[in-house]
A and B are shown apart, each in its own frame.
Chain A
Amino acid sequence: MRNKFSHIGLVFFVLIGVIPFAAAFIYALLYSLGIVGVLNSGFTLQHWQTVLASSEVFKSFGYSALVAAISVVISVSFALWLALKFRKEFDQKILSFIIYLPLAIPGVVAAFFTFQLFSRAGFFSRLAYQLGWINEVSQFPDLVNDALATGIIITFITIVMPFFVLLFLNVYKNERVGNLSELAYSLGASSKQVLWRVSLPVILRKTWTLIALYFIFLLGAYEIPLLLGQESPQMLSVLIIREIKQFDLSKISEGYAIAIIYTIVVSVAVSALFSRKNKTLNEI
């Protein structure tokens, strides 16, 4: 009986999870090679050559990776600090409610909030003006659509950090980090040693796969960089969608080529992660 069910589960997984994805991948591959597409006239490597020759894709890759990495590092550090410092306070209902709240906010809405708060015509700019700190809107620092991606990073942190706080709190409890710390103290460890040798290693070893997955998730983020990013370089998803939806129909294939590169890189990264750290994820 159980066997039968697991077969059905597998069939569903293949039907819903594998086939559409494989079909989409093959379609994109054929499109990028000029085999499908109304305006394509047959097999050509020209689109791939154009993509690989232009530095835009690699710039975008580097930019996306940097923005995602900075956001994850700040989120994780801040969440660790909060989780370890205010562990007891989070047991209260109101605080845990507040920390759950950002998880319910969709990316578009979060980006919109950031825009309303941090843009030069936004809330903080108006506040600074009313307080006499600035005389003109242009004196307010550039925080959205800016070269340093400040707005994107702020928004990423807002939506990702609460998740890490909850995750770390859970791991802290489940792995009995509290008991381990007490034990370390009783054996004569300083609080610094407890933090660096006990708490952090235990928590991070249990969660690093998820941290890496969140990095990949942010790497492919779309709405937030679309609303808060600048026109060049753009994050990967924004770049790909722009290429696929552009006016010049003869260049759509290039968008599919970039999508293929992105998919391959991410798939390789994910399978490397899972093959090595399969166990850790299951244990969580």
Chain B
Amino acid sequence: MHNINVSILLVLLLFTIVACENDPTQDSLNIQEMSWEDISDQAKGSTVNFMMWQGDADINDYINNYVAPTLKEKYNIRLNIIGGQGPEIVQLVMGEKQAGVKKGQADIVWINGETFFQLRKIEGLWGPFVQKLPNAQYIDFDNSFINTDFQQPVNNMEAPWGINQFAIIYDSAQISNPPRNLQELENFIKANPGFFTISNDFSGMTLLKSFLAELSGSPTGLDGPFDEEKYQKLSTRLWDYINRNKRYFWKEGTTFPKEHSKMNQMFASGELKISFGFSEGGVESKVRQGLYPKSTRAYAWDNGTIRNANYLGITYNSSNKAAAMEVINFLISPEAQLKKSDPTGMDSNPVLSIDKLDPEWKSKFEASPKRIYGAQLSDLANKAIQEPAPEYMIRLYEDFRKKVIEK
């Protein structure tokens, strides 16, 4: 049984252990001036620690059974996966910073949005490095969904790895006309009480951001830096809307699921009629696994749902920056991105601009199999809205707890 004292103790022990491993910094300073060939040479034969979210079997399969063996074979780099996401990454880097650890546990981190914001805040990322990657030429850095991460310019401090849009999902065999705005949602849950909820996590907050944007009256209503006055005005209306209607939510709104994965299960078991999620709702793999009915459909809100990219960063104290760059360059290569977009596998939209590719790769991408059940990213394109500034997310988290859950 986990006890708090024990966990604090473990954290401290960890600090002591990593602090003892302090080695003199390697000569990673002049990597910025090195040629790609030299970087590649230096990367050979080393180990790269990749801290990533491991909560999806298809993603793990892609990494463990495709990326890791290919890296070993092509570049003689051993890829070591460490589990961790968002706040865990920030905590790790923060802890290492505090303890003055020169050789960080993680070299590459999979991040976006507020994790990027927080890592920048504590100066936990190394860079800029993306401009050095040969495969970066295939990425369209003029695309505002790629060059801007939660209203912050990416500035080559993190390399885009995937792009996706948030979507609402429903079973078309049960519902013919799903709600597309807040008024319709209110009518829907009143007619079907108990079948809708909002998870108290990243996904749920992303839905709330779409709601907030709708209340602002425009898809671009939340763009720009965080605006306290605007947030207060809109969020008051949002909490009022939710509190007014939460008795029609799952469990009469007395509690909310902690994690989005639970909503997936409840949608599959029929406890929920409306769900939502990143990756265009994540319908394809769930239908193929037999979890969701084949009649499951995904769509965007009338005022739009959030589209965002996710990125790979290198930690400030990575002891192996050259190899980290080599790995990231491989992960954004046409080969790796094509494999990643396989609808029967990881099913993740390529972050590359297909028009920029060589004819050979271009035709491969065009000929690649498409999703059968889920919506394509392009289907939702005209309803895509930007991620608002990270403070919106942080505030929504806090206020959703204080003004909805604890009420």
Contact among A39, A121, A220, A246 with B269 in the assembled complex (CB-CB below 8 Å): A121
| A262 neighbours in B (Cβ, 8 Å) | 4
Q: Is B160 an interface residue, CB under 8 A from the partner?
A: no
Given contacts A248-B397, A263-B5, 15 further A-B contacts (CB under 8 A): A25-B8, A28-B8, A37-B94, A38-B94, A39-B121, A120-B271, A145-B251, A147-B255, A230-B255, A231-B256, A245-B91, A246-B87, A247-B397, A259-B8, A262-B4
- Report the minimal beta-carbon distance from A120 to chain B, rounded to whole angstroms: 6
Contact residue range for chain A? 35 or more
Q: Quick one: which of A138, A247, A248 has the most chain B CB within 10 A?
A: A247
State whether A27 touches B8 (Cβ < 8 A).
Answer: yes
Contact among B3, B269, B394 with A237 in the assembled complex (CB-CB below 8 Å): B3
Contact among A28, A56, A107 with B406 in the assembled complex (CB-CB below 8 Å): A56
- Report the minimal beta-carbon distance from B130 to chain A, rounded to whole angstroms: 25
Residue numbers of A with Cβ under 8 A of B are 20-21, 23-25, 27-28, 36-39, 56, 107, 120-121, 137-138, 142, 145-147, 217, 220-223, 226, 230-232, 236-237, 240-241, 244-249, 259, 262-263
Contact among B13, B255, B271, B401 with A137 in the assembled complex (CB-CB below 8 Å): B271
State whether A137 touches B269 (Cβ < 8 A).
Answer: yes
State whether B1 touches A121 (Cβ < 8 A).
Answer: no
> Number of B residues contacting the other chain (C-beta, 8 Å)?
43
CB contact under 8 A between A231 and B265, given known A24-B8, A27-B12 = no
With A and B bound together, what is the CA distance between A248 and B269 in angstroms? 34
State whether B398 touches A248 (Cβ < 8 A).
Answer: yes
- Between A and B, 29 residue pairs with Cβ closer than 8 Å are A20-B13, A24-B5, A36-B98, A37-B94, A37-B98, A121-B266, A121-B270, A137-B271, A145-B251, A147-B255, A217-B3, A220-B4, A221-B2, A222-B1, A222-B7, A223-B1, A226-B258, A230-B255, A231-B200, A232-B405, A241-B7, A245-B87, A246-B87, A247-B114, A247-B397, A248-B397, A249-B122, A259-B4, A263-B4
| B265 neighbours in A (Cβ, 8 Å) | 121
- Report the minimal beta-carbon distance from B222 to chain A, rounded to whole angstroms: 18
- Report the minimal beta-carbon distance from A253 to chain B, rounded to whole angstroms: 12
State whether A246 touches B4 (Cβ < 8 A).
Answer: no
Chain B, 18-46, contact with A by CB distance < 8 Å: what is the 0/1 string? 00000000000000000000000000000
- Report the minimal beta-carbon distance from B169 to chain A, rounded to whole angstroms: 17
**5 A-B pairs with the lowest CB-CB distances in the bound complex, closest first:** A121-B269, A222-B2, A230-B255, A24-B8, A24-B12
| B4 neighbours in A (Cβ, 8 Å) | 220, 222, 236-237, 240-241, 259, 262-263
Q: In this complex, what residue of B is CB-closest to A222? A: B2
B:74-125 near A, CB below 8 Å: 86-88, 90-91, 94, 97-98, 114, 118, 121-122
With A and B bound together, what is the CA distance between A20 and B15 in angstroms? 11
State whether B271 touches A145 (Cβ < 8 A).
Answer: no
